[in-house]
Amino acid sequence: MNDYMNGSALQGIRVLDLGQMVAAPFCTSIMADMGADVLKIEAPAGDISRNSMPKVDGISTYFVTFNRSKRGITLNLKSDKGKEVLKKLIKEADVLVENFRPGVMKRLGFDYESVSAVNPRIVYASISGYGQKGKYADRACFDPIAQAISGLESVTGPADGGPIRCGASIADIMAGQNALIGILAALRYREISGRGQYIDCSLVDACIVSLASMNQIYNSTGKIPTRRGNTFEATAPGNTYETKDGIISISAGQTREWPKFARCIGHPEWIEDERFVSVDRRVINRILLDSLIEEETRKYTTADLMDILLEYGLPAAPIYSIKDVTEDEHFAGERMMFVDVEHPELGRVKITGQGIKMSETNPYVRSCSPLLGQDNADVLNELGYTAEEIEDMKQNGVV
């Protein structure tokens, strides 16, 4: 085992993942990478994300990404036998995570009250669109909807254009991370109190928190933040600028960075220019300043300009494509942000790695996602079911 694969912070923690699509599976995939025994529980038809693009030879690599490092079983929770099996699993579990619409788990008989009656120590996390209570709780919600109603889309896009959704499913990802934070805190509290608890996270809440700096502008001044393209509300300069051969992002609006930037771009006189002498003045005169800066950046190739900016220690970056990121040695090599897993049918599949680095118990991708029902026999055998009983469950659509 090398330094990258050096421990299991959550070894011994048993997690039941009843999630689908992204938010809950992403949350539990981090726990699985941290060494928890995560059991992916799917209906016999499978998680709907098994049909999500992209696919290779008809198999969803989207599913592979969000369900790595887990074991997997199928279970019909509408059947009495399926409910019996889940209750047995609950008795031995530390954590249950689900992201059904509010009310679904209650109708199945597995809401928090019912589950905690079986296992009072369980930590139960629900991830939904709007939360479990309130007038919006029953509304359908996916990531783009959360971005829209949270205000995130209202501040995303060009200043002279309409609202734009962030290209990635960040509401799902942030909600999954919030759930994980709650779960880890609840497990720590359980060590003290002996009691589990219920965690309620929503996609919209996650987006609202991500907008804390924007929210504060309105809360403090009454001014409604609007779309600003790639500029910042609080400082200037900070934008994307054309070069001879591409586009570069520069953030040099802070007090420490501004004088260095003015010198490196060849205009030290800007430092004392009344139009740009303070953050306030630079923000007011942002359009003029950006036009002057771009006159200079167009004189350089992106690579040459990056060399100059980095020499001055300034925050700057080329606009990478996804291909550029996956092939950059820092991210793909040093940071291990892209890893290969061995799929039993596809062979080697590259997926996004783990963004958390730890010195003693580093999380890492431990295995590929399970095939549908891959661990049915093993898990049911662990629960004490005989081979004949397992076969009977299979024939009757329980698994």
Domains and CATH numbers, the chain: 14-210+328-395 (3.40.50.10540), 238-242+247-318 (3.30.1540.10)
Structure tokens at 219: 């809360």
- CA distances (Å), origin 192, targets 13, 185, 186, 331, 386: 16, 11, 10, 39, 38
pTM: 0.93
Cα dihedral value 61, 66, 70, 73, nearest 10: -70
> Which of 172, 200, 290, 375 is flagged as catalytic?
172
Residue type, 288: L
Q: Any bridge partners for residue 348, and if so which? A: 342
Strands (E), 258-381: 316-318, 338-343, 347-352
Structure tokens at 356: 């958390």
- Pairing mode, strands 316-318 and 247-251: antiparallel
Cα dihedral value 380, 385, 390, 393, nearest 10: -90
In tens digits, what is the pLDDT along the chain, a chain of 399 residues? Answer: 356 777 799 999 999 999 999 999 999 999 999 999 999 999 999 999 999 999 999 999 999 999 999 999 999 999 999 999 999 999 999 999 999 999 999 999 999 999 999 999 999 999 999 999 999 999 999 999 999 999 999 999 998 999 999 999 999 999 999 999 999 999 999 999 999 999 999 999 999 999 999 999 999 999 999 998 898 877 899 999 999 999 999 999 998 999 999 999 999 999 999 999 999 999 999 999 999 999 999 999 999 999 999 999 999 999 999 999 999 999 999 999 999 999 999 999 999 999 999 999 999 999 999 999 999 999 999 999 999 999 999 999 999
In the residue annotation, 160 being an active-site residue is answered as no
